[in-house]
Structure 1
Amino acid sequence: MASWSKKDYYQGSESESEEEIAIEKLKERENILKEDDFFPDLGQEELNYNDLTEDELLEVIERDSPELMGILESVKNLTIISKNAKSIKDTVGIKYCQLLAMNLSYYMLLKSKGKIAANHPVVTSIKNIEKIIISRGKQRGNDILIEENIKENKDHEIKETQDERKGKREIDEKIKKNKGIVKKRKKIERNVRVKNKMKYLKKLKIRRSTLGIKEPRNQDHYEGETTGIRKNLIKSVKLT
C-alpha cells in the first residue's frame, strides 16, 4: 500500500511550490523595472575618464546619455544668440530663448545630481522649444529676404530713371545747399528790409542823443508833461 498525506490528499505540495516560484520571479521583474526603467545605474562600470581617448569618451557619452550632445549644441547656439540679442527685433523669439535657457539650466542641474535620463520630460520640452525657435528664425529670414528684394528693385528702378535723363543724375540736397566759395555774410545782411530798418533806428538814436531828446516810453497811464505847461498859451479856435 502506498503511503499518503494531507498534502497529497489536497494536491497542494507541487502546485503551491510552483506558484511561490512564479510570484518571486514577478517581484524580481518589478524591482528591476522600478530601478532601471527611468534612472539606469550608470555607476556599474567604474571608468577612469582621464585614461580614455576622445573617441572612447564620445562612445561612453552616446551609450550612457545620448541626449547630451544635442543639449550641448543647444547651449552653444543659445550663447551665440545671447551675444547678438540687442540686434534681434523679434521679442517673442527672445522670450522663447529665455524659456530654453531655463530648461537647459534645469537639465544641467539634474545631470550634475545624476537624476536625469534620455526620456525625461525636460528633454522633450527643450526639443519642442528649439523647433519653435528654428521655425520663427526661418520665417524671420524669409521676411528679411523679401524686404531686401523690394529694396533692390527700388534701387534698380531709380538707377534706370537716372540713366534715362541723358546720362546725368539728379543733384541731391547736399549739392543744392553747396554755395561754393561765397563769402559768409551776417544774418542781418541777408535781408535788405531788416538791414535798412536797423540802420534807420541806429541813426535816430544818435540824433536823439545829440539833441537831448528822450526816447518815448510805452506808458500805460498819463504821467504829465515833462517840460511843463504854459498857462497863457491857447491852441484852440474860438467860435464867433
Structure 2
Amino acid sequence: MPNWLQLMADSLGPLLWAGLIFTIPLTLLSFAFGLILGLITAIGRLFGPAPVAAIARFYVWAIRGTPLLVQLFVIFYGLPSIGILLDAFPAALIGFTLNIGAYSSEIIRAVISSVPKGQWEAAYSIGMSWRQAMSRTILPQAGRVAVPPLSNTFISLVKDTSLAAAITVPELFQAAQRIVATTYEPLILYIEAALIYLALSSVLSALQVRLERRFARYGGMLEANA
C-alpha cells in the first residue's frame, strides 16, 4: 500500500471520531438553538413593539455584517478581558447559535410574510387567537417554503464548524491539523478532511431533496383537499 494511502487509512479513525464527538453535536445543537432564536427574532421584528423590533434589527444587522470568525474570537478571546471565561465548545456553540439565529431569522421572516393575509383572516374568522393562527395555520405553510433555504443553511453550518478549530475546539479540522503536526503531510490530511466534509454535505443534500419532495407532496394534498 502506498505511504499516502496508508496515512489516510491510519488517520481516518481519529478524524471520524472528532467529527462524531464534536463536529456533529456542535452542528446539531447550534442549528437547533439558532432556529429557535431565529424564530423569536423574526416574530419580534414582524409583530413585536417598536423597541423589540429595533433590538431584533440591530442584532441581525450586527451578526450579518461581521465575519463569523471574528465573532468566535470576540466570544472566546475577547470576553475574558471583562471577566467572562468560556470553554472552547460553549464559546463555539454560542457563536454559531448567534450566527445561525440571525440568518435563519431573515428566512423565517420572509416566509411568514409570504403567507397571504387571507390565511390570517380565515383563521380569525373561525375563532382562532393570534397564537393559534400562527401555530396551526401560518407556520405550517411557511415551514414548507422555508425547508430549502434552511436546509442550505444547515449544510453550510456543517462546513463552517471547521472555524471552531481557530478557538481550539478539537473538531474534525483541528484533528487533521494535529495529525499534520506529527506527520508533516498537510496536503494528504487536508484533502482527507475535505473529502469527509464533502461526504457529509452530499448525504445532507440527498436528505434535503427527499425532504423537499415530501413537503411538496404534503402541500399538494392540502391544496387538493382545500
Whether the TM-score (by the shorter chain) exceeds 0.5 is no
Query: Radius of gyration: which is bigger?
Result: 1
What is the TM-score normalised by the length of structure 2? 0.25
- Tell me: higher relative CO, structure 1 or 2? Use CA pairs within 8 A at least 6 residues apart: 2
